[in-house]
Amino acid sequence: MNQGKYNFTFLFFYVTIITLLFSCQKQKKNYYESIAFNDIKLSSSPKPGSWRYNHDEHFQTFEDFQKLKKIKPQPGKNIIYLQPIGTFDELQKKEIILTKEYLKTYYQLETKILPALPNTIFPENVRRISNEGNEQILAEYVLDSILIKRKPKDAVVLMGITEKDLFPKPEWNYVFGLASYEKGVGVTSMYRFASGHLSDSNFNESFLRLIKISSHEIGHMFGISHCLNANCVMNGTNTLTETDYHLARACSLCQRKLNSSIHYDPKKRLFELKNFFEKQHLNTELSLSQQDLNLVQ
């Protein structure tokens, strides 16, 4: 083989290898691009009565989120606290303990439960009787007059959990939860999650609703708006039917937003969520976690 032909062959081989390497790099997806394959897109025509049907909301892009002034964990202020308010039976106490474990995994932040406060903390002027005949508490009062005053110094956010029904304003029938972006406090009501009575038979149904609403409200505290990208825990909800339809899984966009503020290993988080769902026999969420893992392993 003459020298010119040898040099040409070597050069061709070298260029081919470099091209293949660059091609592979271009094709390699990051974590969020990978799991986006499992995002379930929302219908372009929301059903009458649904949250999206009744609310014309802005699509919060990742760039919008980045520009937003928001709460972030920082040294000495990086613990999620749960504040139970009310009188809880043993199953409800179990729900709260498991919710603490879930939120620790979901947000990859230390999570603690504060001693419960009694229902006597609610004055008469923030109570009302609903059209259904049950007592309700004004949610704004819980945020502004109870939680913000009791937020620990090392708390990044404080989530109240009450067994009382909540209403956000006089014209609303009820609300599952409410949160403040600026103050880092929120409240979730367990009242409607067990259809009146929590038992062993409906525990998982109630618990799944509780972790969806709790993680949703804390997501708001971290600056994430209602999701319009896919079926996601950050979707707005009007009813339990809508809550049940929405996934506990955050979509790829909302996970990317969260991870930009809370720096954790997304694969580690996903693996821990899978283990949690498996242990609690939450089979739909377990399946979705496994599907995501299959894409990133």
Beta bridge partners of 35: none
CA nearest 136: which of 172, 185, 179, 181? 172
Alpha carbon 107 to its chain centroid, in Å, reads 8
Size (the chain), residues: 297
Give 76: exposed, middle or buried? Use CB within 10 Å, 0-12, 13-18, 19+.
exposed
d(CA 190, CA 170): 20
d(CA 120, CA 279): 36
* Contact assessment for residue 82 and residue 112, using Cβ atoms and an 8 Å cutoff: yes
Residue with tokens 């980045």: 66
Element (H, E) at 187: strand 185-189
CA nearest 213: which of 159, 150, 139, 263? 159
Please indicate whether residue 90 is annotated as part of the active site: no
d(CA 52, CA 116): 35
DSSP H stretches of helix in 55-116? 62-67, 90-107
Cα torsion through 234, 280, 80, 292, rounded to 10: -50
Query: Which is catalytic among the residues 132, 217, 242, 278?
Result: 217
* Contact assessment for residue 227 and residue 206, using Cβ atoms and an 8 Å cutoff: no
Active site residues: 217
